């Protein structure tokens, strides 16, 4: 698998460079429209995510939302924050285009498990954390098998299945299915995770949790999440 992943990274970088040269005018137009609608914010949205071997990186997206509060300091709902151009680029998946930069930097791939938030890192089970054995992707096996309709366990199961089967033919299959879904606009929503509870809250609220990876406990031993999980497990044991 390691040999294939090395070759895959090289091919990904070359393809990302060619695509960036091809679509940069589209990114520029989207950026201009974003600034016209909301000049107060940046064009790109950057957020820290977890990549291969649990290393963190900043993911690039076209910004689709305005600030969390209005000019009077009143909090805005998610719907109120969503820009009109943001709604369009999300529906067309154009907000993901800048992630070609992440691919060029070797942080992402075209195909792989989607990169998730850093604060989820302490919450994975030993099995689930194997999703970080490869570079995260713009699209993945979970995204072409239900995407918004899947719960966290189903998503992670598909991520692990991908890890176990990763190959050129499997990646090509996922890429083909991704293109078909984008064209048909099936399983596309304004926000891929909008129907899901935040994973850290979801995991804390679970009563039955597998033993957490010891390496993660050592790193995040003082985190609120680990403390909450240990409390829940202790309470469960005392029942």
- pTM of the predicted model as reported, rounded to 2 decimal places: 0.81
Tell the residue number behind the tokens 């609220």, with chain if given: 205
pLDDT tens figures, 171-210 = 999 999 999 988 887 665 555 555 577 887 777 766 444 4
Domain boundaries, the chain: 2-196
Q: What pLDDT, in 10s, does the model give residues 115-137?
A: 999 988 888 888 999 999 999 99
Among 97-111, 154-168, 174-188, 191-205, where is mean pLDDT lowest?
Answer: 191-205
Read off the pLDDT band of 222 (50, 70, 90): very low
Q: Cα(203)–Cα(126) distance, rounded to whole angstroms?
A: 14
Q: How far apart are CA 143 and CA 192, in angstroms?
A: 9
Residue 177: the pLDDT is: 94
Distance from C-alpha of 38 to C-alpha of 139, rounded to nearest angstrom = 29
Sole residue written with tokens 């989607």: 114
Mean pLDDT of all residues belonging to the chain: 84
Question: Residue 155: is it exposed, middle or buried by C-beta count within 10 angstroms (0-12/13-18/19+)?
Answer: buried
Checking if the pLDDT of 149 tops 90, the result is: no
Give me the mean pLDDT over the 203-229 stretch: 53
CA 149 to chain centroid: 16
Ranking 19-23, 84-88, 99-103, 230-234 by mean pLDDT, the lowest is 230-234
């Amino acid at each position: 698998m390691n040999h294939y992943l090395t070759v895959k990274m090289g091919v990904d970088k070359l393809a990302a460079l060619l695509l960036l040269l091809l679509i940069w005018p589209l990114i520029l137009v989207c950026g201009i429209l974003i600034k016209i609608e909301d000049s107060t914010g940046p064009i790109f949205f950057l957020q820290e995510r977890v990549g291969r071997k649990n290393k963190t990186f900043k993911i690039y997206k076209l910004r689709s939302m305005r600030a969390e509060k209005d000019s009077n300091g009143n909090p805005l709902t998610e719907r109120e924050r969503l820009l009109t151009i943001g709604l369009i680029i999300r529906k067309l998946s154009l907000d993901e285009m800048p992630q070609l930069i992440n691919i060029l930097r070797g942080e992402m791939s075209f195909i792989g498990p989607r990169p998730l938030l850093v604060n989820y890192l302490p919450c994975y089970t030993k099995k689930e954390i194997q999703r970080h054995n490869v570079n995260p992707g713009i699209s993945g096996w979970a995204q072409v098998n239900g995407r918004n309709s899947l719960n966290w366990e189903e998503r992670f199961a598909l991520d692990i299945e991908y890890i176990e089967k990763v190959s050129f033919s499997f990646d090509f299959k996922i890429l083909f299915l991704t293109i078909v879904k984008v064209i048909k606009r099936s399983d596309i929503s304004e926000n891929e995770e909008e129907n899901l509870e935040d994973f850290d809250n979801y995991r804390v609220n679970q009563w039955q949790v597998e033993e957490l990876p010891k390496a993660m406990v050592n790193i995040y031993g003082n985190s609120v999440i680990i403390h909450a999980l240990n409390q829940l497990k202790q309470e469960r044991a005392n029942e």
